[in-house]
Chains A and B, each alone.
Chain A
Amino acid sequence: MTTPLLSVSGLHKSFGRTVACDDISFDLWPGEVLGIVGESGSGKTTLLRSIAGLIEPDAGEISYYSGEGALDVHDMSEPELRRLQRTEWAFVHQHPRDGLRLNVSAGANIGERLMANDWRHYDNIRSEALKWLAAVEIDEARIDDLPRTFSGGMQQRLQIARNLITSPRLVFMDEPTGGLDVSVQARLLDLIRSLVRDLGLSAIVVTHDLAVARLLSTRLMVMKDARVIEQGLTDQVLEDPQAAYSQLLVSSVLQV
């Protein structure tokens, strides 16, 4: 029997009187892509940020199983957490501007995690950056350009390259195709899907868009009013939703 990669139990978080996450528990298995869907305000982004150690939950436990055993995400020291965040984990923000360093070139953005992990050979860093530019379908000639000269879709691809370069085991994505127009979205989704498959990544993807969830995730969790109301294999949930809200969500979106 294998162990899960991540285990969440009894997670609770409120902001003042507003409950954002209420008693949430689940396991994420290696190689699995978990989609968290729900309307805005359902608590899915708070859940993601709590798991990734970016906000402190009020109660509950989040265990990450690294190569060295189980780590309690909110009990580890800040340097340990930061190390995890720049090595085994990655976080892809909805807005590339939140995830990129805008005042340095694309190459420096991609190379940052390598340098943070003690790479000290310029040419090696650069050739690795070029490789990743190609992998996310950005013209290699743009390596020395600033991200602000890139289109929204390119910026998002750059953010993905910057995150995946250290071959993380677990990737968090918050509405990764959120701010993009439809054709750009489709291309980006294809890219993410093939990268996830080729690298054997595990991921948690938060989205309000069921189409995105269907394309990327193997398993689906539906959230409403801070609670998980339904979870299961993606096909299963989409084809035969049990909860009334899931049925509503599926029928309203997927008939298009």
Chain B
Amino acid sequence: MYVAVKGGERAIDNAHRLLAEKRRGDPDVAEISAEQISQQLTLGVDRVMSEGSLYDRGLAALAIKQARGDMIEAVFLVRASRTTLARFGYSEPLDTGAMEITRRISATFKDLPGGQVLGPTFDYTHRLLDRALDTGAEVEPAATAPVSDDATPHVLGLLDKQGLIEPASCRPDEDQSEPGDMTRDPLTFPVDRDVRLQMLARGDEGFLLALGYSTQRGYARNHPFAGEIRVGMVEVSFVPEELGFAVCLGEIEITECEMVNQFTGSKSTPPQFTRGYGISFGHCERKAMSMAQVDRALRADELGEDRTAPAQDEEFVLSHCDNVQATGFVEHLKLPHYVDFQSELELVRRMRREQGADRQEAAE
């Protein structure tokens, strides 16, 4: 007598116990701490904070540990935690011009006010595996320099002063409403640049990288120059209603990329360069650059360009850039689909029978 499979509940519990054991690995090897991850896998933590849209190094590190190093799973854990948090309001816009710079480069000007600051970068390292790295050797302290009091103005601001680049804006000039909030308002296309930027900021690094790359290979070419990339600490401030003035809540690390792109203009309007903007929590340079490229590509309609490539297609890009959504839906194919499959099976059998193709079955 056939008995239907039972015991889903016990199987799940057992699977979770096995997962915990695998996560821990060999108990003879010291357990990694979230603190270690936070200190030593900083760029991973930065990515999880950015795509998880929650600035909390400790939680992001814990998520990486809990996810066994699966970054998208870690992003997911952070998002699910973020969704339960109470919302007090919106911070004041960040003043990235007042950033305490740890890295700042421009590919458009050799020298500029505030100078070029390389900071901690993989650029110009030789990608040779360093076997000494795993021997516990002391790290030589880095050279330091006094903090400069010189202002570090935005490179694009310098161009803007001369009228050489379009002014920075998210909306048509006449639209003075508050920026949208993609976490509170359902997405309905078409959207303005403010909401696009929000979605790209939490978008998957790999997806944006591929799209940004595609624009450089001719799919919506827009001649990017890395006008400026800056990384460093900025103050976050908030105006509590009771007080009516801004209070500094603390500092966060930010990566900002401003691209200078293909100019527009006609015989009547003087030519100006256009902008693409990217930003991330922590130090996610590749993400910020890709985001800036995709932002620029998505402005095709606004700038009167033909939409010919995937990176210019707002519905395509925004509907697919969120890795938590993407992974959920792709992985849901693991869930049972017996019922739907049964429907298809029944139809295919019937059609085969009608065509006389399935003689063996018909003979049964």
- Tell me the bound Cα distance from A17 to B269 in angstroms: 10
The residues of B that contact A16 with a CB separation of less than 8 Å are 266, 304
Tell me if B183 is interfacial: C-beta within 8 Å of chain A. no
CB-CB under 8 A from B267, the residues of chain A are 17
Bound Cα distance A91, B267 (Å) = 35
Kindly provide the distance from the CB of A175 to the nearest chain B CB, expressed in whole angstroms. Answer: 20
Inter-chain contacts of A17 with B (CB < 8 A): 266-268
Q: Mark A9-52, 1 if CB is under 8 A from B, else 0.
A: 00000001100000000000000000000000000000000000
> Which residue of chain A has its CB nearest to the CB of B268?
A17
Which residues from 252 to 297 on chain B have a C-beta closer than 8 Å to any C-beta of chain A? 266-268
Question: Could you tell me the distance in whole angstroms from the C-beta of B267 to the nearest C-beta in chain A?
Answer: 6
> Which A residues are in CB contact (< 8 Å) with B268?
17
Docked Cα-Cα span, A45 to B114, in Å, equals: 55
Total cross-chain contacts (CB, 8 A): 5
Bound-complex Cα distance A16 to B267 (A): 10
B-side interface mostly: loop
Give the bracket for the number of chain B residues in contact with chain A: under 10
From B304, which residue of chain A is reached at the shortest CB distance? A16
User: Restricting to B44-91, which residues have a CB under 8 Å from any CB of A?
Assistant: none
A15 to chain B, nearest CB (A): 9
> Which residues of chain B in 321-341 are interfacial with respect to chain A, using CB atoms and an 8 Å cutoff?
none
CA of A17 to CA of B304, assembled, Å = 13
Closest to A15 in B: B304
* Nearest CB of chain A from residue B306's CB, rounded to whole Å: 13
Residues from 79 to 102 in A contacting B, C-beta threshold 8 Å: none
Complexed CA–CA distance, A17 and B267 (Å): 8
In the assembled complex, the CB of B263 is this many whole angstroms from the nearest CB of chain A, namely: 16
CB distance from A55 to the nearest CB of B (A): 15
Complex CA gap A255/B173 in Å reads 57
* Distance between Cα atoms of A16 and B266 in the complex (Å): 9
Chain A nearest CB from B332 CB (Å) reads 26
Across the interface, which residues of A come within 8 angstroms of B304, CB to CB? Answer: 16
Kindly provide the distance from the CB of A78 to the nearest chain B CB, expressed in whole angstroms. Answer: 16
Quote the shortest CB–CB distance from A248 to chain B (angstroms). Answer: 29
CA gap between A25 and B268 in the complex, in Å: 29
Which chain B residue shows the least CB distance to A18? B266
Complexed CA–CA distance, A16 and B303 (Å)? 12
Residues of A within 8 A of B266 (CB): 16-17
CA–CA, A153 and B20, complex, Å = 66
Shortest distance between the CB of B154 and any CB in chain A (Å): 31
For A16, the closest partner residue in chain B by CB is B266
Shortest distance from the beta carbon of B61 to any chain A beta carbon, whole Å:
48
Complex: how many Å from CA A16 to CA B304? 10
For the complex, what is the distance from the CA of A184 to the CA of B85, rounded to whole Å? 69
- Report the separation of the CA atoms of residues A218 and B268 in the bound assembly, to the nearest whole angstrom: 42
CA distance A17 to B268 in the complex (A): 8
CB distance from A128 to the nearest CB of B (A): 26
Shortest CB-to-CB span from B120 to chain A, Å, is 47
Cα separation A16 to B265 with both chains bound (whole Å): 11
Give the CA-CA distance A128 to B267 in the complex, in Å: 54
Return B319 CB to nearest CB of chain A, in Å: 21
Q: How far is the CA of A17 from the CA of B266 in the complex (A)?
A: 9
**Complex Cα gap A29–B267 (Å):** 41
A39 to B268, CA, bound (A): 26
Whole-angstrom distance from the CB of B221 to the nearest CB of chain A? Answer: 21
CA distance A16 to B268 in the complex (A): 9
CB distance from A61 to the nearest CB of B (A): 27
* Separation of A17 and B265 alpha carbons in the complex (Å): 11
Min Cβ gap B25→A in Å is 50
Q: Taking the nearest CB of chain A, how far is it from the CB of B200, in angstroms?
A: 29
Please report the C-alpha to C-alpha distance between residue A215 and residue B274 in the assembled complex, in whole angstroms.
Answer: 50
The answer for the CA separation of A21 and B322 in the assembled complex, in Å, is 45
In the complex, how many angstroms separate the beta carbon of B307 from the nearest chain A beta carbon?
16
User: Separation in Å of the A211 CB from the closest CB of chain B?
Assistant: 32
Name the distance in Å between B357's Cβ and chain A's nearest Cβ: 19
Please, which residue of chain A has its CB at the minimum distance from the CB of B267? A17
Distance from A110 Cβ to chain B, minimum over Cβ atoms (Å): 25
Cα of A32 to Cα of B66 in the assembled complex, Å: 76
Bound CA span A151–B268, Å: 46
Smallest beta-carbon distance B136→chain A, Å: 62
A19 → chain B closest CB, angstroms: 13
User: Nearest 3 A-B pairs (CB), nearest first?
Assistant: A17-B268, A16-B266, A17-B266
Cross-chain pairs A/B with CB under 8 angstroms, 5 sampled = A16-B266, A16-B304, A17-B266, A17-B267, A17-B268
Binding site for B on A (CB under 8 A): 16-17
Binding site for A on B (CB under 8 A): 266-268, 304
